[in-house]
């Protein structure tokens, strides 16, 4: 088997520090499990602007297109706040997502047993929570035409955004979600607003067709988005995989993230279309940003990025076993009482970014 190509883009702020901890795991996999990646590293965001005058150089984009997967830290920071819009660090991230055609955004919300008391909800509502929200990322209300603000003949102004989906756009996000459901617990909830919005009537029809023709083994249910928001807060454990429109997913995934109570723990994946060999473009990154306020202090939580790497192993490299080892290592280290500052609780041992990374590797050694 040829080595998988992994492009690492640490980016700015704590992105650099947390990525060092993933490097430890990559080294460990080479030494202890004889799994080798072809790893290259590049610049994105403000650190790319400082060198190339652009937040995403063409060569870096070409490397991303040629890689089997991209692992990204975070972009942005006060140093680049006053740059013109086109070269802001965040533009680099938007550009790479768009150029790679990453239409499926996967956001797991997992509550680790040891952290169940970190949520703002009652422990029994969230303990054991493990759901996956699949958000359509390149269509829907955020991209539909016509859009803009116009002035009417009577002088009034009118703002317009349009919710559009073609059947092919619905089917490809549907397949991504059904495939995931198949890898998990074979249940998928499609979230729409089919009682009001025609576009989502089409969405629902296509999801039903897909289930009947390609995924008869998956249990498909439907929910209106307003109810889904309520149910996520009332009884989130009823869900397994959810699939939904761009803006609905934006809102629901932030809501689900808060159920877990800790930004520093949340990974994500963004997937593109599969090629003839079934390989898809993919980018993995923590949900949190560059956190300039804690940059360089060795206190950032590296677990969101480490868990993003585990998602990469699972969804891009077919290394489910190693992915689960990493997830178990994270669980065990938390159970053992180690905490970075952001998830600190009374009676636990506060550790630095690097000690957390080392502890994960030590735990992997035990599990190996
Ligand atoms: P962005 O616009 O890139 O999303 P943001 O400012 O909205 O950035 P973050 O950079 O994620 O959000 O930071 C929000 C807060 O959470 C900050 O105070 C930061 O210190 C904290 N934070 C974010 N990520 C981590 C982490 N991995 N470990 C510890 N604290 C974190
Ligand atoms: Mg933010």
Q: Is 101 annotated as a binding residue?
A: no
Separation in Å, CA 185 to CA 36, 125, 188: 30, 20, 9
- For residue 14, the ligand 1 atom closest to its alpha carbon is 27
- Residue 302 dihedral angles phi and psi, to the nearest 5°: -90, 0
- For the annotated catalytic residues, the residue numbers are 142, 193, 226, 250, 254
Residue nearest atom 21 in ligand 1 by C-alpha distance: 291
Give the helix/strand (H/E) hosting 112: none
- For residue 74, the ligand 1 atom closest to its alpha carbon is 3
Give the helix/strand (H/E) hosting 185: none
- Bridge partner residues of 322 (DSSP): none
Q: Is 83 annotated as a binding residue?
A: yes
Cis peptide before 278 (omega within 30 of 0): no
The residues, any chain, with a CB within 8 Å of residue 315's CB and separated by 6 or more, are 106, 269, 271, 282
**What does the pLDDT profile of the chain (368 residues) look like in tens digits?**
689 999 999 999 999 999 999 999 999 999 999 999 999 999 999 999 999 999 999 999 999 999 999 999 999 999 999 999 899 999 999 899 989 999 999 999 999 988 887 777 888 899 999 999 999 999 999 999 999 999 999 999 999 999 999 999 999 999 999 999 998 999 999 999 999 999 999 999 999 999 999 999 999 999 999 999 999 999 999 999 999 999 999 999 989 988 887 889 999 999 998 888 878 999 999 999 999 999 999 999 999 999 999 999 999 999 999 999 999 999 999 999 999 999 988 889 999 999 999 999 999 999 99
Is the CB of residue 290 less than 8 Å from the CB of residue 77?
Answer: yes
| 325 vs 368: CA distance, rounded Å | 8
Residue in 62, 51, 69 with CA at minimum distance from that of residue 12: 51
| 300 vs 286: CA distance, rounded Å | 12
Six token digits for residue 141: 């209300």
**Residue extents of the structural domains in the chain:** 1-110+261-367, 120-131+138-245+252-259
CATH 3.30.56.10 matches 1-110+261-367: no
Q: Write the DSSP symbol of residue 317.
A: S
Gap from CA of 129 to ligand 1 centroid (Å): 23
Residue 61's pLDDT is what? 98
Is the CB of residue 246 less than 8 Å from the CB of residue 143?
Answer: yes
> How far is CA 354 from its chain centroid?
23
Q: Write the DSSP symbol of residue 237.
A: G
Six token digits for residue 88: 């802001």
Give the helix/strand (H/E) hosting 229: helix 225-234
- For residue 301, the ligand 1 atom closest to its alpha carbon is 28
Residue 266's pLDDT is what? 93
Residue 31's pLDDT is what? 97
Report the CATH superfamily, name and number, of domain 120-131+138-245+252-259.
Isopropylmalate Dehydrogenase (3.40.718.10)
Is the CB of residue 281 less than 8 Å from the CB of residue 287?
Answer: no
Predicted confidence (pLDDT) per residue in 36-81, tens digit: 999 999 999 999 999 999 999 999 999 999 999 999 999 999 999 9
Six token digits for residue 164: 């559009």
Which ligand sits nearest to residue 266's alpha carbon? 1
Residue nearest atom 17 in ligand 1 by C-alpha distance: 291
Residue owning tokens 């590293």: 41
Give yes or no on whether 1-110+261-367 and 120-131+138-245+252-259 have one common fold. yes
Residue 168's pLDDT is what? 97
Residue owning tokens 């830290």: 73
Q: Is 299 annotated as a binding residue?
A: yes
Residue 1's pLDDT is what? 67
In this structure, the residues whose C-beta lies within 6 A of any atom of ligand 1 are: 14, 74, 76, 263-264, 288-291, 293-294, 300-301, 304, 342
Is the CB of residue 208 less than 8 Å from the CB of residue 190?
Answer: no
Question: Which residue spans within the chain are E strands per DSSP?
Answer: 4-11, 37-41, 69-74, 104-110, 130-136, 144-151, 157-162, 187-192, 219-224, 241-244, 267-274, 280-286, 338-339, 349-350
Residue in 308, 368, 306 with CA at minimum distance from that of residue 106: 308
Six token digits for residue 62: 């070409």
Gap from CA of 109 to ligand 1 centroid (Å): 17
Pocket test for ligand 1, best of 91, 294, 297 (most atoms within 8 A of CB): 294
Pocket test for ligand 1, best of 16, 257, 263 (most atoms within 8 A of CB): 263
Q: Which pTM value belongs to this model?
A: 0.91
- Residue 324 dihedral angles phi and psi, to the nearest 5°: -70, -35
Residue nearest atom 15 in ligand 1 by C-alpha distance: 291
Predicted confidence (pLDDT) per residue in 277-309, tens digit: 878 999 999 999 999 999 999 999 999 999 999
């Amino acid at each position: 088997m040829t080595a998988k190509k992994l492009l690492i883009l640490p980016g700015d702020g704590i992105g650099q520090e947390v990525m060092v901890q993933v490097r430890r795991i990559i080294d460990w996999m080479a030494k202890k499990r004889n799994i080798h990646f072809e790893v290259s590293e590049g610049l994105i965001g403000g650190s790319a602007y400082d060198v190339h005058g652009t937040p995403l150089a063409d060569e870096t984009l070409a490397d991303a297109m040629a890689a089997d997967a991209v692992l990204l830290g975070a972009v942005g920071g006060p140093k680049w706040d006053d740059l013109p819009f086109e070269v802001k660090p965040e533009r680099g991230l938007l550009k790479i997502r768009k150029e790679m055609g990453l239409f499926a955004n996967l956001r797991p919300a997992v509550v680790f047993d040891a952290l169940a008391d970190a949520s703002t909800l009652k422990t029994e509502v969230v303990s054991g929570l493990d759901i996956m929200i699949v958000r359509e990322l390149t269509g829907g209300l955020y991209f539909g035409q016509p859009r803009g603000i116009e002035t009417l003949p009577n002088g009034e102004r009118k703002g317009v955004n349009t919710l559009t989906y073609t059947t092919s756009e619905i089917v490809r996000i549907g397949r991504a979600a059904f495939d995931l459901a198949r890898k998990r617990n074979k249940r998928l909830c499609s979230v729409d607003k089919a009682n009001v919005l025609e576009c989502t009537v089409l969405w629902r029809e296509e999801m039903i067709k897909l289930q009947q023709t390609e995924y008869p083994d998956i249990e498909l249910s439907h929910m209106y988005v307003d109810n889904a928001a309520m149910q996520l807060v009332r009884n989130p454990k009823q869900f397994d995989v959810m699939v939904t429109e761009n803006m609905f997913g934006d809102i629901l995934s932030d809501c689900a993230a808060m159920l877990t109570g800790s930004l520093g723990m949340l990974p994500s994946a963004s997937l593109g279309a599969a090629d003839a060999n079934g390989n898809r473009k993919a980018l993995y990154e923590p949900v949190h940003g560059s956190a300039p306020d804690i940059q360089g202090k060795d206190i950032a939580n590296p677990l969101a990025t480490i868990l993003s790497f585990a998602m990469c192993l699972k969804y891009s490299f077919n290394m489910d076993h190693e992915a689960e080892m990493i997830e178990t290592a994270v669980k065990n280290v938390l159970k053992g009482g180690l905490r970075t500052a952001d998830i600190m609780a009374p009676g636990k041992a506060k550790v630095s970014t690097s000690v957390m990374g080392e502890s994960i590797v030590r735990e992997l050694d035990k599990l190996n």
